[in-house]
Structure 1
Amino acid sequence: MSTPRPLERGSRLVLASHNKGKLAEFAALLAPYGVTVVSAGELNLPEPDETATTFEGNARIKAEAAATATGLPALADDSGLCVSALGGAPGIYSARWAGPDKDFAGAMHRIELGIGEDEREAWFICVLCLAFPDGAVQCFEGRINGTIAPEPRGAEGHGYDPIFVPEGETRTFAEMSDSEKNAISHRARAFEAFQKTCLA
């Protein structure tokens, strides 16, 4: 980890993702700071193998690969759902549990089968990593605690949102509007930490 370094107004930043929805989200978040965002997908960058055993490690792999390939600062995130009764799984393998067909209904059913009625403690983690071409890297973590709902509820959101009830709520993430979820989510908390350190 290096000394905190701000992104200068007018900077061009690579988002180390091929996800168009994520690009739109981060472009909107960074626009007020004069930072222009371009995605790894738009630049036809290959997706590196995520071989680390932590969220920070995988976010760092993606950010460093994009910064090295483009000569620009790069931002990457890695996130997932962790269930206490499953030893923290699916964790960094959250996307892989859904398989190549992105079968999150199947993945959520697998979680429900693996836990007891009184074993519902869970949390979402997001780690954002900002990497510079000279090798400097800064990482920021956001976490939100909650529980696993007895069954999926809601049609909003994506991934595991239908079974995650954040602490202090009775609704799942999938029963909330985007603005409600984004105000409290793990990604929002990671971005808040990034914002305080890296955005003027």
Structure 2
Amino acid sequence: MVVDDAVAATIRGQSQAQVATFVASCAERMAQVFTGLSGDDPARNGDADVVIRLVEDLWNPAISAAAFRDYVTSLEGFQELEPSDEEIVDVAGIYSFYSVLVLRYAALYRSSADVEDALKCAHASLTAMGQLDRNLRGAEFFAQEAELQQHVSSLGDRGADPVQRLRDGDRAVSQQRLVAIQGRLTR
């Protein structure tokens, strides 16, 4: 699933702060998917803590690039990103993988300010939602993600109140995604 050309062009022309908000928004929409699917496993408590801290820090423009390099290193140690000859086939594993991938690209953007990492973050989000649509009859998560990416990319510099409203909306979307994926687990 490719990022919309207009979104990509807009992102490429934005300030670092605007793109940082874009990747924070993408990550927020996938965070509960990871914590909801992995959070019940005591062995993953540390991973869930990393994800929660990362998402919080993604919204904070004062966090240093070095801190995000540390997050990238942590995420690369998650089981979802470990090399394997086996294909991921279980539902929880697939969406946990996509969540970690989105988070990794968001952290990579904040560590280097390479806009291509922001676009990879958006691409991974779209791919995950496209796959979810294929597995849920009548779902429109891909269209929703594309629309949200368009919306966030079109916003200019924002103050604290609009960013908090954006984040609250993204949290609600993340919860909806988790509920839909958990519904697939019971089938």
Fold in common (TM above 0.5)? no
Structure 1 or 2: more strand by fraction: 1
Q: State the structure with more CA Rg.
A: 1
Larger helix share, 1 or 2? 2
